[in-house]
Amino acid sequence: MNVFTDLLRRQGKLGRPLNVAVVGAGFLGGGLVHALSRIQGMRPALVANRTPERAESVLRAAGADPARIVRCDDPDAAERAIAAGQWVVTRDVELFAGVPSIDAVMEATGTMQVGTDVALAGFRARKHVIEANPEVQVTLGACLKPLADEAGVVYSDIDGDQPGIIMNLHGYCRGLGLEPVVAGNCKGVMKRYATPSTQAAFAAAAGISPWIATAAADGTKLNLEMALVANATGMRPARTGMAGVETGLEALLESFSRHGLLEAGPIVEYTLGIPSGVFVIARSGDPHLRKELRYLKMGDGPEYLFYRPYVLCAFEAPLTAAEAVLYGTATAAPAGDPVADVATFAKRDLRAGEPLEGIGGAKHYGLIMAVEALREENALPVGLAEYATVARDVLRDGLIRYDDVVLDEAPIAVRLRREVEECFRARSHAR
């Protein structure tokens, strides 16, 4: 199986490339458009963004002929334009659902509202939905994945980013007959109280939004990514927020053993001090395999470290869309009932009446928790924080509970989350 060869074979058979709709033309969305324009057999046929000018700009930067970029919000007109080899730009994030020749949608906004709307529209239209949006998958995956299954389509996070790479490495180890005991992410530094102001210079230099830089710096993104991996594998966090052992690559196995994390597995974890990459620690009790791995310079075992140093994000993300269409497979998707979620903690003292905000702000950060602990504590999932207003004071680093906020019940994400929680309560009572 070679995805690149199969894409070309499919194009030759159908007489057209695999058409992808990209929703969001920011840092990642722009990267997706560029990558899709260079993978033979794929094409960013439609780009949706709240400012169409930005969508047009990323298409031009990717090599699209400006004279062949068409703005439209009508699905029939969009279908005709794509059939004629043009590129469609629109404000309507759900337009792709009415365009028959769109094979898959890739959502790259990172927002709860758009991510939820795109997923639901994709399922209704029976189109594969690929989202670079762990907030949505962690918060609502328990209800979105069954809807995708019912529609007969793939719902997945992307290859190329940490969760997808970890899932590939996890599957590789299992395929070799090893038992993954730790699935891990590498982080250079942690700035728990980072804000958009403190991260503004870095964001500007990197060409990313301050909220993205903040959510990465304060660990919220990391915790969401590892909750996604947990729910895709069944591996749990050993503790709230994970341990975050400070170590280097050469000492990683010894450090995890010294902190008791190898025996705590199978768990999700992260390290501090290794600036990039992901890893899986896998175990084998097979004497023959251990002898061979010793000869191959993998160590004495029984635990072995598998590490990938690079994270290529947009370069590899289109492969998830390709594999969804070609093979009906997902890179990273919920495997059943969730085992982990991400709870909301106060980044500073919060006063009653303050509206909370989405991730990457100055008011809260998110930490992974086992689902049983999150429900017992009545903790507010960080994915719903933007719909909440503080109802009573919460001190810095305090867990924010549902009882501490007033939640806007109107957004679809809140309503879906309520359905998930009612479902789990019913199951708990049945047991």
Q: What is the pLDDT of residue 65?
A: 97
- Asked, for residue 46, whether it belongs to a domain, the answer is yes
- Give the Cβ contact number of residue 201 at 10 Å: 11
Q: Are residues 310 and 167 in the same domain?
A: yes
Q: How far apart are CA 346 and CA 349, in angstroms?
A: 7
- Asked, for residue 350, whether it belongs to a domain, the answer is yes
- Asked, for residue 326, whether it belongs to a domain, the answer is no
65-75 in b/e form (b: 16+ CB < 10 A) is: eeeebbebeeb
Q: Are residues 224 and 169 in the same domain?
A: yes
Q: What is the pLDDT of residue 401?
A: 98
Q: Are residues 296 and 373 in the same domain?
A: no
- Asked, for residue 335, whether it belongs to a domain, the answer is no
In a 3-state reduction of DSSP, which class is residue 426? helix
Q: What is the pLDDT of residue 420?
A: 83
Q: Are residues 58 and 166 in the same domain?
A: no
Q: How far apart are CA 272 and CA 283, in angstroms?
A: 23
Q: What is the pLDDT of residue 431?
A: 57
Q: Are residues 82 and 124 in the same domain?
A: yes
Expressed as residue numbers, the domain containing 152 is 3-156
Amino acid at 237: P
Q: Which of 141, 156, 171 is the last residue in one of the domains?
A: 156
Q: Are residues 299 and 388 in the same domain?
A: no
Determine contact, residues 7/41, Cβ cutoff 8 Å. Answer: yes
- Asked, for residue 330, whether it belongs to a domain, the answer is no
Q: Which residues of the chain have pLDDT under 70?
A: 426-431
Amino acid at 399: L
Q: What is the pLDDT of residue 159?
A: 97
Determine contact, residues 26/108, Cβ cutoff 8 Å. Answer: yes
The CA-atom distances, in angstroms, between 103 and each of 43, 99, 106, 300, 356 are 10, 9, 10, 47, 37
pTM of the model: 0.96
- Asked, for residue 34, whether it belongs to a domain, the answer is yes
Q: Which of 129, 156, 183 is the last residue in one of the domains?
A: 156
Number of domains comprising the chain: 3
Q: Which of 156, 179, 194 is the last residue in one of the domains?
A: 156
Q: Are residues 145 and 185 in the same domain?
A: no
Q: What is the pLDDT of residue 429?
A: 56
CA-wise closest residue to 403 among 371, 379, 368, 372: 379
Q: Are residues 131 and 218 in the same domain?
A: no
Q: Are residues 299 and 348 in the same domain?
A: no
Determine contact, residues 343/381, Cβ cutoff 8 Å. Answer: yes
Q: Are residues 117 and 205 in the same domain?
A: no
pLDDT in tens, 158-200: 999 999 999 999 999 999 999 999 999 999 999 999 999 999 9
Q: Are residues 9 and 150 in the same domain?
A: yes
pLDDT in tens, 241-272: 999 999 999 999 999 999 999 999 899 999 99
- Asked, for residue 321, whether it belongs to a domain, the answer is no
- Asked, for residue 424, whether it belongs to a domain, the answer is yes
Q: How far apart are CA 200 and CA 209, in angstroms?
A: 8
Phi-psi region of 123 (alpha: psi -120 to 50; beta: other; left: phi over 0): alpha
Q: How far apart are CA 407 and CA 384, in angstroms?
A: 8
Q: How far apart are CA 288 and CA 227, in angstroms?
A: 34
Determine contact, residues 420/338, Cβ cutoff 8 Å. Answer: no
CATH number at residue 146: 3.40.50.720
